[in-house]
Amino acid sequence: MTAMLLNGKELAKKRRSEIKTQVGRLKEMGITPGLAVVLVGENLASVTYVRSKEKACHEVGIYSEVIRLPETITEEELLQVIEELNRREEIDGILVQLPLPSHIREQVVINRIAVEKDVDGFTPVNQGKLLLNEKGLFPCTPLGIIDLLKETGQSIAGKHAVVIGRSNIVGKPVSLLLLHQHATVTMAHSRTVGLKQIAREADILVAAMGQAKKITSDYIKPGAIVIDVGINRDENGKLVGDVDFEAVCEVAGCITPVPGGVGPMTITMLLQNTLQASLWNHHVELAGRIDG
């Protein structure tokens, strides 16, 4: 069997075009959604991510502003920057690019972001809303994964989803979103005993543990949907996921490639969250698709 490819690049393009239309309608009403991205220091990966976020905003007509701050900034100074962004009306979304330098406590900084501008969905209030299945802003990678799963045309309800990885950014929130879609969810992680046997039970397998090509074909139930969240470099510097793509393709029913799977959906969901925040902040409702 050769698995069907779940093309994140293509779906992201479609979603960005829908977001652009919605942003256009909002602009006709005199409202431009705005995103502020805070970048501390010059971590190479972070600089690249932030550039991609800026470009994506520009493409759909969202106003974006990058606040570049020196590595030496104090936690208190950074908190003042966040406070100022919380106050500014033209800014609907605030994203603090992680990781932060080690002298700054990330959760203290995140906690200072106004809940209604928290387009990463990292504040405790939004994480709590996710737990309770209330309306809120939720982490982008998990939202992108659910969108990709819906694109398979298969129902999530009743399926056994196994999530490998328990981070606050991916593993925990995607488990909750899957649960809210009525999947039966198993959360596995680095300390799980018998991981292979558990993974083989999965109708939907989400690999988000950050180990290059760890998931080989013997972890896969024939026909399963495999979502690869990993971004790793192999020994030749090539971008690879947590899944051994070529081998798993022979067993899985559907699979996301790396690159071109989950990655493009993450930034797309950031755009969607910024649009959503703007709509809520301005008490505007638009007809048509926002979050499926």
* Range 78-97, binding ligand GUN (CB under 6 A): 95-97
Active-site pick, 92, 117, 118, 120:
120
Residue nearest to ligand GUN (CB): 98
Size of the site for ligand GUN (CB under 6 A): 7
Beta strands in the chain (DSSP E): 4-5, 34-40, 63-69, 93-96, 160-164, 184-188, 204-207, 225-228, 232-233, 239-240, 254-255
Residue 14 has a CB neighbour count (10 Å cut-off) of 12
Classify residue 30 by burial, with Cβ atoms within 10 Å: 0-12, 13-18, 19+: exposed
Distance of CA 202 to the CA centre of its chain: 22
Residue 39 sits in the site that holds ligand GUN (CB under 6 A): no
13 is catalytic: no
Q: Residue 270 CB, nearest distance to ligand GUN (Å)?
A: 8
DSSP 8-state secondary structure symbol assigned to residue 263: H
97 or 281, CB closer to ligand GUN? 97
97 is catalytic: yes
Q: Which of 120, 147, 228, 242 binds ligand GUN (CB under 6 A)?
A: 120
Whether residue 212 contacts residue 230, with contact meaning beta carbons closer than 8 Å, is answered with: yes
* Range 140-159, binding ligand GUN (CB under 6 A): 140
Distances, alpha carbon 190 to alpha carbons 166, 200, 208, 274, in Å? 9, 16, 11, 33
139 or 253, CB closer to ligand GUN? 139
5 or 98, CB closer to ligand GUN? 98
Q: Please name the amino acid found at residue 238.
A: K
Euclidean distance between CA atoms 269 and 291, whole angstroms: 9
243 or 262, CB closer to ligand GUN? 262
Residue 287 has a CB neighbour count (10 Å cut-off) of 7
119 or 161, CB closer to ligand GUN? 119
Residue 162 sits in the site that holds ligand GUN (CB under 6 A): no
Q: Residue 221 CB, nearest distance to ligand GUN (Å)?
A: 29
Residues 95-114: x/- map of binding to ligand GUN (CB under 6 A)?
Answer: xxxx----------------
272 is catalytic: no
Whether residue 39 contacts residue 47, with contact meaning beta carbons closer than 8 Å, is answered with: yes
Catalytic residues: 53, 97, 120
Residues that bind ligand GUN (CB under 6 A): 95-98, 120, 140, 169
